[in-house]
Chain A
Amino acid sequence: MKQLFTGAFGAMMFAALATTALAETKLTIATVNNGDMIRMQGLTDDFTSKNPDIKLEWVTLEENVLREKVTTDIATKGGQFDVLTIGTYEVPIWGKKGWLVPLTMVDDPADLLPAMSGGLSVDGKLMASPFYGESSMVMYRTDLVEATGMKMPDAPTWKDIKEIAAKITNKDKEIYGVCLRGKAGWGENMAFLTATSNSFGARWFDENWKPQFDSQEWKDTLNFYLELMKESGPPGASNNGFNENLALFNAGKCGMWIDATVAASFVTGKDSTVADKVGFALAPDNGLGKRGNWLWAWSLAIPAGSQKEEAAQKFVGWATSKAYTELVAAKEGWANVPPGTRTSLYNNPEYQKVAFAKMTLDSINAADPTKPTVKPVPYVGVQFVAIPEFAGLATTVGQIFSAALAGEKTADEALAEAQDVATREMTKAGYIK
């Protein structure tokens, strides 16, 4: 009898434990290595204490590795991830293919910055919720600009930039007027050049998907960029991406740097030798109604076919909520709150005190991914074209333009080559009949 009782008790305990184990949902979250994402990993106790049945497991990877891995997994329905960190480029493409689940638990979707929610929606449905958003702007050395006797306008033109850069440049002292991206890649030099080309009135494709590198606008863009860099850029600029320019700026070698708004916290941070001498301005324009700034967000999305959709929806809702920004502010200060996603954040008087907050918001608002160019285009995206072929094509074009910056070919040769490559690829992909 005693044995029977012990056996029954044991079976009941086993069943209870098994039920508990079954009730626990493990979410595997694929994410990139940036400060905001790492910070979130340290603050998830707030989420798990409210949702004790959900356990979070993080897979942090370098951006390109993550992109390859997540793309393979989602395309083959591998099901390795329940929540994905993806960029603004992937969302419209994957959303249209039905690879993502529309989000249903996003906190106050109307509060999301229109530029962000516009770029992350497909057919009016939000397919990814922005966790952290950025645009690009001019970061400049106030002391060097002041020494030239000139003044940096809040909304400079490219002509202003060229003139100020020329006056700042002192190659003997290794001070360069302007540092810009030159390293080849669709997310490197082509992000900068595509955004810049928008302000020159250029576009990647016309309404019939015909490449436009043979247009006068692209000629003006590339010639201006090459001349500016030759006159006022650092040596070896064709190898410089975000991090190389950041290192140069922090070392005091650049008068101006036009790049992602996220850099503002780095150039004013503890690793910068010029932290107290940095000013901010909008990305330049040419008076055509479009500025040379981009729009990007790292967003959280749920792959279609996820077996844990409800838990994933809850997590995405929590991570991109107003309550989360308040949690970060309470623990680490307002300057460390993920920027660029919500209107309410920029209306917050505490956040308005952060030096670069206003310029970040103005830069984001100046970009419209649905109407990125002066002339009409058949695509969405400011510094990219949201079609699957773009990443490969833009990397090839980026290599051609990078070679032009290195002096291996002229602007005309580079543009002709880019036009050939783009025409061939777009014909092969079926865009050009």
Chain B
Amino acid sequence: MARAVSSRRKWTFTLIAWFLAFLIFFPILWTILTSFKTEGDAAAIPPRFLFFDWTFENYGVVQERSNYFKFAMNSVILALGSTFFALLIAIPSAWSMAFAPGKRTKDLLMWMLSTKMMPPVGALIPLYLIFRDFGLLDTRGGLIAVLMMLNLPIIIWMLYTYFKEIPSEILEAARMDGASVWKELVYVLTPMAIPGIASTILLNVILAWNEAFWTLALTTKDAAPLPQFIASYSSPEGLFWAKLSAASTMAIAPILVLGWFAQKQLVRGLTFGAVK
């Protein structure tokens, strides 16, 4: 039975929720607002919230100075490419761990997660040397491999958690009907785990899109994605906040729109199995 909530209480909670949402969104809002200011207004003391001379000049300068679409295209290819290859490995791995666990499955899962605990800079020089020797520096292929490996532990963990929620009896029934492992995976498990897989894809795309350390370290121009585009607008000497904000807004816009449209799916996936 639903709990009765007084309308006053409901309003209070709604207001608190809106306030918290505004607080979380404020840095992005401030970045967007700053992108429409002049450099002088962006650095004004006290800060100007809405009453300033609105200008599109920064977007013009950024577009003129950098090839935004080249960076954006690289980001799209890296995010989708790394996600695709990661799923190819992660779905069978998670399936085997969820439905055919061995004695060391739990240890294996923990070990995979532990690779995320190492500071990335620790692996920079070895990886840089490998990339140099194999001619992978500043290539999309090399970076897709790195991003894929970087996010693989999280993807396997997420999928493993989702798969664990699916009753193994359903898979057994499929097997009884003569389904092969491949058919069981493709026609039974995957459709049932679609919300989980979708949210995993979305999360991985977002993580790969925002990854800055490796993308900055291993690319220069041909494979450079949007983090490098943003990094080119920061300067230790001189006012740059408005142009940097314009570059940041252009960089986050695609992923923000994607997140907005996919939020239902994302929430559904992330809460999948929360109520049994």
Contacts and interface: CB of A to CB of B under 8 A. Distances in A.
Interface string A285-316: 00000000000000000000000000000000
Interface stretch (A88-96, A165-173, A262-270, A358-366): A262-270
Interface in A217-273: 241-243, 246-248, 250-251, 253, 260, 262-263, 266, 270-273
B29 interface: no
B236 A80 contact: no
B228 A61 contact: yes
B45 A28 contact: no
Interface stretch (A33-41, A143-151, A208-216, A341-349): A33-41
A33 B233 contact: yes
B231 A28 contact: no
A207 interface: no
A81 B239 CA distance: 27
Contacts of A272: 40
Contacts of A15: none
B106 interface: no
B43 A33 contact: no
Nearest to A35: B238
Interface in B33-78: 38-40, 43-45, 65
Interface string A45-66: 0000000000001011111110
A30 B216 CA distance: 13
Given A28-B221, A65-B231, A72-B124, A34 B40 contact: no
B239 A248 contact: no
B259 to A, nearest CB: 26
B39 A243 contact: no
- Interface magnitude class on chain A: 35 or more
A361 to B, nearest CB: 19
Interface of B: 38-40, 43-45, 65, 124-125, 128-129, 132, 137-138, 216-217, 220-221, 224, 228, 231-240
Given A76-B132, A242-B237, 9 more contacts: A28-B221, A59-B220, A61-B228, A63-B236, A78-B137, A243-B236, A253-B45, A271-B39, A272-B40
28 contacts: A28-B220, A28-B221, A30-B220, A32-B235, A33-B235, A34-B235, A34-B237, A38-B65, A41-B65, A59-B221, A62-B231, A62-B233, A62-B234, A63-B236, A65-B234, A68-B217, A72-B128, A76-B125, A76-B128, A76-B129, A76-B132, A78-B132, A243-B239, A250-B43, A260-B237, A262-B238, A266-B238, A271-B40
